[in-house]
Amino acid sequence: MNVDRTIRTLDEFTIQSLRQFPQATGELSSLLRDIGLAAKRVNVEVNKAGLVDILGDHGTMNVQGEEVKKLDIFANNQFVGVLQRGISCAGIASEELDDFVAFDDDISKNSKYVCLFDPLDGSGNIDVNVSIGTIFAIYRRVSDRGTLATREDFLQKGRNQVAAGYMVYGSSTMMVYATRRGVNGFTLDPSIGEFCLSHPNIKCPERGKFYSVNHGNFFQYPEDVRKYINTCQNKTKETGGPYTQRYIGSMVADVHRNLIKGGIFMYPGTTDKPKGKLRLLYESNPFAFIVEVAGGKATDGNIPILDIIPTELHQRTPLFIGSKGMMQDLEECMADAQKEMV
């Protein structure tokens, strides 16, 4: 019998995808379900943020010397707790934890995957009711199952990701995740408390109207980047410019918009911070994976983000990411500027 179902929940979708791979064990589906559950709990707190005592600073600094918000800690604890109690995750690394954590119980030690995440992205926007998010990356561990997860499991290049995704807690709450087979978006239906497929098979438009960069840092950017930013304001037929500048300060929201509508997001190095601000393992890599699967591109200005071999859990990287055509313009413009500079 063929039942015509127009709405598919995240669980239904991952289980249906699994059916196409008889050899699959279902561990990835279970991991995605766990992540979805943690996201729903975070969403509840984000939505009542002004009503309960969860706004504001936690009073501590993270390992990167940044102020930690109460919601950063809440979100971190939700994701760690759910993944630790699940059956598919051997260990985690998080923006909010100095070092990775290998889960030391028999089920976790026998699990196939490790997960890295930014529990709350854009946390500077929490107190002012602007969209924030969560970002995650999933890798198959390289260490033997049955043992504790190791540093090497976490320091894999982005190209090895099995899946990556993000949540946006915005005008609606969404979860978007990518596997090599495609990118799909789910919107949380609050009436049933489920993520439902709303954006099947997302493709990043070849070009778009948006460029997203922190203009306040303009004079601190390298000259080739400044040249490109100037071209974004030019009226040309080839590029479709001038573009509209949009920068929310929550990477999740900025890259999500550009993924759907077409655009380019940049967080270049600055004179103060030559490697920029964004972290390779749980910010740039997952987005690079998602955007590449959707047909876009992501580089650090020289090489694809996904080819960088990580050396540290919290290492930073400049990031240029978005629609393929706009990324090609950026590369050409930067190459020309470099030739002029020698």
Quick note: the x/- pattern for Mn ion over 112-151, rule CB under 5 A, is ------x-xx------------------------------
CA distance 197 to 12: 9
Per the CB < 8 A criterion, the answer to whether 184 and 201 are in contact is yes
The option from Mn ion, ligand AHG, none interacting with 249 (CB < 5 to 8 A, set by class) reads ligand AHG
Task: Select the residue interacting with ligand AHG from 43, 134, 156, 250 (CB under 6 A).
Answer: 250
CB-wise, 205 or 268, nearer to Mn ion?
268
Q: Is 96 in the site for ligand AHG (CB under 6 A)?
A: no
Shortest separation between residue 278's beta carbon and Mn ion, angstroms: 7
The option from ligand AHG, Mn ion, none interacting with 250 (CB < 5 to 8 A, set by class) reads ligand AHG
Q: Is 86 in the site for ligand AHG (CB under 6 A)?
A: no
3-class SS at 254?
Answer: helix
Q: Is 251 in the site for ligand AHG (CB under 6 A)?
A: yes
Quick note: the x/- pattern for ligand AHG over 99-118, rule CB under 6 A, is -------------------x
Task: Select the residue interacting with ligand AHG from 26, 249, 304, 310 (CB under 6 A).
Answer: 249
CB-wise, 90 or 266, nearer to ligand AHG?
266
CA distance 157 to 297: 16
CB-wise, 214 or 315, nearer to ligand AHG?
214
What letter does residue 280 receive in the DSSP assignment? I
Residue whose CB is nearest to Mn ion in the complex, by number: 121
The option from ligand AHG, Mn ion, none interacting with 214 (CB < 5 to 8 A, set by class) reads ligand AHG
Q: Is 224 in the site for Mn ion (CB under 5 A)?
A: no
CA distance 94 to 5: 37
Shortest separation between residue 87's beta carbon and ligand AHG, angstroms: 28
* Number of residues near ligand AHG (by CB under 6 A): 12
CA distance 165 to 163: 7
Q: Is 318 in the site for ligand AHG (CB under 6 A)?
A: no
Shortest separation between residue 85's beta carbon and Mn ion, angstroms: 22
Alpha helices, H only, the chain: 10-19, 27-47, 70-85, 106-109, 151-154, 223-231, 251-261, 285-293, 324-341
Task: Select the residue interacting with ligand AHG from 40, 109, 141, 277 (CB under 6 A).
Answer: 277
| Residue in 181, 170, 138 with CA at minimum distance from that of residue 285 | 138
Residues of span 87-106 touching Mn ion by CB under 5 A? 95
ω into 304 cis (within 30 of 0): no
N-terminal to C-terminal alpha carbon distance within the chain: 69
Task: Select the residue interacting with ligand AHG from 14, 86, 111, 121 (CB under 6 A).
Answer: 121
| Residue in 301, 307, 336 with CA at minimum distance from that of residue 320 | 301
Phi and psi at 280, nearest 5°, equal -60, -50
Measured in whole angstroms, the distance separating CA 235 from the mean position of its chain's CA atoms is 31
Q: Is 153 in the site for Mn ion (CB under 5 A)?
A: no
Helix (H) or strand (E) holding 93: strand 89-94
**Rg, the chain, Cα only:** 20
Q: Is 254 in the site for Mn ion (CB under 5 A)?
A: no
Q: Is 220 in the site for ligand AHG (CB under 6 A)?
A: no
Q: Is 286 in the site for ligand AHG (CB under 6 A)?
A: no
Q: Is 70 in the site for ligand AHG (CB under 6 A)?
A: no
CA distance 211 to 228: 11
Q: Is 276 in the site for ligand AHG (CB under 6 A)?
A: no
Per the CB < 8 A criterion, the answer to whether 117 and 95 are in contact is yes
Per the CB < 8 A criterion, the answer to whether 245 and 211 are in contact is yes
Q: What residues line the site for ligand AHG (CB under 6 A)?
A: 66, 95, 118, 121-124, 214, 249-251, 277
